Structure 1
Amino acid sequence: MEKELEGTTAASRLQSVSLNDWVRILEILREKIPRQSFDTWLKPTRFIGFEGKSLLVRVPSVDFLYIKDRYTDLLQESLLRLKLDCEIVFVPSDSEEAKENERQSQPTPSSPRSSKSKRPESGPAELNPQYSFDSFVVGDGSKFAFTAAHAIVERPGLTYNPLFLYGGSGTGKTHLLHAIGNEFTWKHPRASVLYATGEKFVSEMIESLRDKTMRVFRQRVRTVDVLLMDDIQFLSGKTRLQEEFLHTFDALLQRKRQVVIACDQSPRELTGLDEKLHSRLEAGLVADLQVPNFETRVGILHKKAAQEKITLPTDVALFIATHARANTRELEGALTRLIAWSSSQGLSVNIETAQTCLKHLLGTRAKMLKIGTVATAVAKHYHLPVTALKQEKSRSLAEPRHLAMYLAQQLTHASLSEIGRYFGGRHHTTVLYSIHKIEKLIKVDPIMRDTVEVLSTSLGHN
């Protein structure tokens, strides 16, 4: 009896240790993985139990087995760092193994920001309370701008002043401007924040000139603590208005007040601006925002769905992220349409509903190709037979196959599952891993960048 009790106690102690270890592993991964990736892939995981030398972790579905492919090195590094002699096994929640082995779940570590007190529902009338730092999904193309925006709230007027944000339509510039304003208002309730578009600034100034109330206009814009100016390109070619803005700009900087400007072009690319204004804009920190990559788009969709209190299946998120990639507005617009259409038709949000409701997205991508056409072009480039790209195991063929999958996702209407089936019956999470691999190489390897450009051009896309 004593031995049995002793064994039970030891087992409980072993499970407790394993549970704590998974929490510690998550803490390590949180430091190394972008926030939106952690929230999308690792936050939903739950500790199941310990079986032999296997630490069992439940994941919502087979889609999340992507974690094993994507973060193998980081998981192994975490085990070594914690001196754990075990392997991590991810078990989809709908599998028989998960149902048999699942124990009491342990919540993942809470976000450092979740301990903050409740924020006011709204700030200045010009600011959208929905645009916050918490609701902004950070990706590789926006991390620098996001970090800079966060920093100036901590030390307004002293760090990165002015801050110049630029990027194409729907990349998150306006979101960050509002997030800065909302965060600053929350931290400094008595401070004054002014958000204005270039068009509004021009309109109000012309009205003030006409009504001879320029003194009032200047008093309002030159005494704020934070000026957030969106779409400054609207001032191009308007000499008198630029002069007024330049004086406002100088007055705020002299008083160490924060100025943040957003534009669709970098300061150097802007035309029709006074040389002095050009110089002022380039004197601060210039940060660009790029079109979100595939992984970031998936994160944006899950974040938006959570805000709408909608459960978004992973395969639906992958489908939308594959076909709506022009910018964040198109992405969120597609999800909004899907939610509204599903509700009006009394249908659940699933892949069949998404394919029916969002078929217009497929039509917006002109001259789409077949997977086989893309595979043939890649095989020809590497002097390989097409069948070689479908082989089960061959390290030497990994890069050509990754590239073929990446281009198939970029240039065809095929879903990730269809691409995976074409390339030897691989799971769509393997396709997702290949896409991510090539996206990373494009950023650091000029040869891969040139190869993608050459193949895209030869296939009729540039």
Structure 2
Amino acid sequence: MSKPHEEVWNNCLSIIKDNVSHQSFKTWFEPIKPLNQKGSTLTIQVPSQFFYEWLEEHYITLLKKTIKKELGPNGSLEYSIIMENNYKNNNKSLSVKVPTTNKSAVKNPSVSMPYEVGGNKGIKNPFIIPGLKKVVVESQLNPNYSFENFVEGECNRLARSAGYAVASKPGGTAFNPLLIYGGVGLGKTHLAHAIGIEIKNNHPNKTVLYVSSEKFTQQFIDSVRNNTQNDFVHFYQMIDVLIIDDVQFFAGKEKTQDVFFHIFNHLHQTGKQLVLTADKPPVEMQGIEQRLLSRFKWGLSADLQVPSLETRIAILQKKMYTEGIELPNEVVEYLAYSITSNIRELEGALISLIAQSSLNKKSITLDLAKEMIDKFVKNTAREVSIDYIQKVVCDYFNLPIELLKSKTRKREVVQARQIAMFFAKQMTKSSLANIGAHCGGKDHATVLHACKTVNNLIDTDKRFRNYIDDLEKKISIQ
């Protein structure tokens, strides 16, 4: 006897809740309403086309597994999109059967395996499409992570240029291996996928494979358990372009490092291309064997740095263009000034803002952005940036920010510059030298003098004290 549709969906939600963050669950799953169930098909209602597309792009795998668990192997999902237009409900129903086509697969050509075991059986590998006579290796590349969607700035120019060179001539440049390193959320994975996609565009006959270090390790463990290590090694030796994400996770795994060492040697010696990503340069990696580290240094190590304000604004504008949405410039600037260290968080804040607007039927204003982003930023333990402080101070005194950073000694500019230094010292963890560098190349002694001057004026000048109180309210994230 089939379960009522509400009970089926509640069971699905209990599974989903354990597999996504609290914020994601509230934003993307709580608003969904179960409408009905016919046989093994469950229909759910979502509030917008954008909402449906976001679920399809980011949570389709989780939804597939959950629906199949509840409704069996033939379980399927239908979306009913309710869009309000002049107060009339137009139901737009989209049927999405489970399992769906994997949108992220970028096809490689079929290849004959150079090595066979067990008579006519080909080498076992986790990326083949079963039932085909020739082996087809799924590249595991995400077509959304292309060079076209990767915003260039000073923070990533070297890595991006090297990636283009590799994509034009894989295995034929001095950048082999190409090691891209940097902190969380700065675009390492995006750039790695972009290189693979560009290689597929330029050299469609080459076999490209993207794999995370965790998946590589798990496959190796499975091969040991199943006594198929030779299959594992030979499979990876046939790849033309191997992209390994987060190689720092090989640390401490001696056997995995050993097998990767031999695969690396074979690919490099036969002119194949290796692209690696890591959270730090080889000289700082702990727990990785020296013979591997020395090979990581054979090619080019290119870092991704924290994006500048201009790059952050460009990233948001690119995301808006891709999603087909428009936001007021003041909202875009507020986002860029508020979230400074992580592109992933920056884009996440933008999507959360759009979701809030869509769900609550509110237009996106600076006030709504502040209300929502302030909560988002608090959850990410954000620190006010020097750039943001300077913008608020310049807006308050109606000064161009270039003037604040210039060497002019005009009284009103000097005072604004000193106030910006004062708040930067109070509200950020930046060194005095760093604060001075942001304020027109001043030294630490100038910053200390500015802070002392501001404190004296707060004690002696009522009007100046009101300036500081007003600015503190505007800068503080309440």
* Distance apart, 1:189 and its partner CA: 1.6
Which has more helix, going by share of residues? 1
- Structure 1 pair 319–453 and aligned structure 2 pair: CA distance change class (3 A): farther
Q: 1:158 aligns with which of 159, 162, 172?
A: 172
Once residues 196 and 281 of structure 2 are traced to their aligned partners in structure 1, the CA distance between those partners, rounded to angstroms, is: 22
- The residue type equivalent to 1:308 in the other structure is E
Residues 148-191 of structure 1, C-alpha deviation per residue, up to 9 Å, x if partnerless?
A: 11111111112111111100000110000000111111222221
**Is the CA contact 2:180–2:188 (under 8 Å) kept in the aligned structure 1?**
yes
- Secondary structure of the structure 1 residue equivalent to 2:252: coil
Match of 2:143 among 102, 112, 129: 129
Is 1:196 aligned to residue 199 of structure 2? no
Give 2:186's aligned residue.
171
Name the amino acid aligned to 1:350.
T
Query: Secondary structure at the residue paired with 1:164?
Result: strand
**CA displacement, residues 200-223 of structure 1 (integer Å, 9 cap, x when unaligned):** 110000101110111221122111
C-alpha distance in 2, partners of 1:143/1:370? 23
Deviations 1:227-264 (A, max 9, x none): 10001011101111111101111101111111010000
Displacement of 1:277? 0.5
Deviation at residue 410 of structure 1 after TM alignment:
9.4
SS of the equivalent of 1:166 reads strand
Give the aligned residue type for 1:396.
R
- Preserved contact between residue 369 and residue 411 of structure 1 (Cα < 8 Å): no
Q: Which amino acid aligns with 1:292?
A: P
Q: 2:445 & 2:168 partners in 1: Cα distance? A: 41
Distance 2:160 2:255 in 1: 33
Q: 1:368·1:411 contact (CA, 8 Å) conserved in 2?
A: no
Tell me the distance in 1 between the aligned counterparts of 2:276 and 2:414.
41
Q: Give the equivalent residue in structure 2 for 1:147.
A: 161
Inter-CA distance 250–394: structure 2 relative to 1 (3 Å threshold): closer
Q: Aligned with 1:312: secondary structure?
A: coil
Structure 2 residues not aligned, in runs of 5+? 1-103, 108-137, 394-402, 429-433, 456-478
Q: Does the residue aligned with 2:326 lie in a helix, a strand or coil? A: coil
Q: How does 1:369-408 map to 2 (within 5 A)?
A: 395-396=408-409, 401=416, 405=420, 408=423
1:209 is aligned to 2:224: yes
- For 2:218 and 2:367, how far apart are their aligned partners in 1? 48
**Structure 1 residues 192, 353: CA separation in 2 closer, same or farther (over 3 Å shift)?**
same
Please tell me whether the aligned partners of residues 212 and 246 of structure 2 are also in contact (alpha carbons under 8 angstroms).
yes
Residue 263 of structure 1 pairs with residue 278 of structure 2: yes
Aligned mates of 1:161, 1:449 — CA distance in 2: 43
Contact 1:164 1:286 in 2 (8 A): yes
What CA distance in whole angstroms lies between the structure 2 residues aligned with 1:181 and 1:453? Answer: 50
Q: Taking structure 1 as reference, are residues 323 and 407 closer, same or farther at Cα in structure 2, changes over 3 Å only?
A: farther
Q: Tell me the residue number matched to 2:129.
A: none
User: Structure 1: which amino acid aligns with 2:285?
Assistant: L
- Structure 2: distance between partners of 1:364 and 1:440: 29
Indicate yes or no: 2:364 matched with 1:352.
Answer: no
2:254 is aligned with what amino acid? Answer: T
The reply on whether 1:287 has 2:302 as its aligned counterpart is yes
Cα gap change, 1:201 to 1:145, in 2 (>3 Å): same
1:339 aligns with 2:358: no
| Partner amino acid, structure 2, of 1:201 | F
Query: How many Å separate the matches in 2 of 1:149 and 1:257?
Result: 15
SS of the residue 2:147 aligns to = coil
Count of residues in Structure 1 that have an aligned counterpart in Structure 2: 297
Name the SS of the counterpart of 2:160 in structure 1.
helix
1:182 has 2:197 as partner: yes
Partners of 1:322 and 1:409 within 8 A in 2: no
Q: For 1:126 and 1:443, how far apart are their aligned partners in 2?
A: 46
Note the C-alpha offset of 1:268.
0.4
Q: Conserved in 1, the CA contact under 8 Å of 2:338 and 2:385?
A: no
1:125 and 1:349, CA in 2 relative to 1: closer, same or farther beyond 3 A? farther
For the Cα contact (< 8 Å) 2:179–2:277, is it kept in 1?
A: yes
d(CA) in 1 for partners of 2:445, 2:169: 42
Q: Which amino acid aligns with 1:333?
A: G
Report if the CA contact (8 A) 2:170-2:272 is conserved.
yes
Q: Distance in 1 between matches of 2:296 and 2:206?
A: 24
SS of residue matched to 1:126 = coil
Q: Report % sequence identity.
A: 37
Alpha-carbon offset, residue 330 of structure 1: 0.5
- 1:298-319 Cα offsets, whole Å, 9 max, x none, are 1111111111100122111111
Match of 2:328 in 1: 313
Measure the CA separation in 2 of the matches of 1:155 and 1:357. Answer: 46
Residues 208 and 240, structure 2, Cα contact 8 Å, conserved in 1: yes
Cα distance, 1:394–1:272 mapped onto 2, change above 3 Å: closer
1:9-158 map, 5 Å: 122-123=106-107, 124=138, 126-158=140-172
The answer to whether the 8 Å contact 1:169/1:264 transfers is yes
Cα distance change on mapping 1:367 and 1:343 into 2, 3 Å: closer
Counterparts of 1:412 and 1:244 in 2: how far apart (Å)? 49
Displacement after TM superposition at 1:325 (Å): 1.8
How far apart are residue 141 of structure 1 and its match?
Answer: 1.0
Q: 1:255 to 1:440 in 2, by over 3 A?
A: farther
Q: Which residue of 2 aligns with 1:45?
A: none
Q: CA RMSD in A?
A: 3.8
How far has the Cα of 1:359 moved from its partner? Answer: 2.3
